[in-house]
Amino acid sequence: MKFLPRAATFAALTFCAGALANAATLDPTQAVQQPVVDSINPQEHHVVPAQQGVAASLPATQDGEIVQPLPQAALAEDQDFETLSAVVAAQDAPESPTSELNCLAVGVYYEAKGEPLAGQLAVAEVILNRTTSGRFPKSVCSVVAQPGQFSFVRGGKIPNPPANAHWRKALAVAQVAQKDLWDSPAEKALYFHARYVRPSWKRATVATIGNHIFYR
């Protein structure tokens, strides 16, 4: 009957000795520290991959900056051209020009399609100058259609030019004049006529370009 108490006592002593041996191998500082478990929101650490297709379609500069390409028309307005021919060539023909642009181009076409570019631009400038002078109608179409001013107008109706190379050039010149992309050699002119005409008026001559003489 004394075997069980002795066995129990021996087991208790063995356990205590093992516990003391293990305690001697622990770092006292680690023994009092409890592991800290952060509460992680999986949505906050979710990484959304970049859309590679968008960046790949845009040109990059040498420093890696992404540059959005500008429309040709915007480039033309913000560029310094060396010649009038270059700025005219840079104009893209609009699919459906406004009525004012169309009337301006019609005036250039019928009055100066055989003239040098400077002469065509000067004709466009005369029409535009009239709209702001206070002496003529305020719209381009009204200036062109005004009775007794342009010989190609019949009965107040503005004709439709044929879609040829001269018309495309006249449309480009009208765009240059409308956007004020090039200084006209006939600045502030309000009148012009062919060289062979001998008008009775005495107006200040602004310039002679091609076969036309321009006046204020």
- Burial category of 196 from C-beta neighbours within 10 Å (exposed 0-12, middle 13-18, buried 19 and up): exposed
How many CB atoms within 10 Å of residue 18?
A: 10
153 located within any domain: yes
pLDDT digits (tens, 9 = 90+) for 51-68: 444 444 444 444 444 444
135 located within any domain: yes
The pLDDT value recorded for residue 79 is 60
15 located within any domain: no
State the residue range of the domain holding 109: 77-89+96-184
CATH number at residue 176: 1.10.10.2520
Coil, strand or helix at 212: strand
- Residue labelled with tokens 């893209």: 92
Q: Show the tokens assigned to 88.
A: 């005219």
Q: Are 193 and 180 in contact (CB under 8 A)?
A: no
**Total structural domains within the chain:** 1
Q: Please name the amino acid found at residue 30.
A: Q
133 located within any domain: yes
100 located within any domain: yes
- Strand intervals (E) in 27-181: none
The pLDDT value recorded for residue 75 is 44
36 located within any domain: no
Angle at which helices 165-179 and 117-133 cross, to 10°: 50
137 located within any domain: yes
Which residue ranges of the chain lie beneath pLDDT 50?
1-76
Contacts of 49 (CB under 8 A, 6+ apart): none
83 located within any domain: yes
Q: Show the tokens assigned to 74.
A: 């915007």
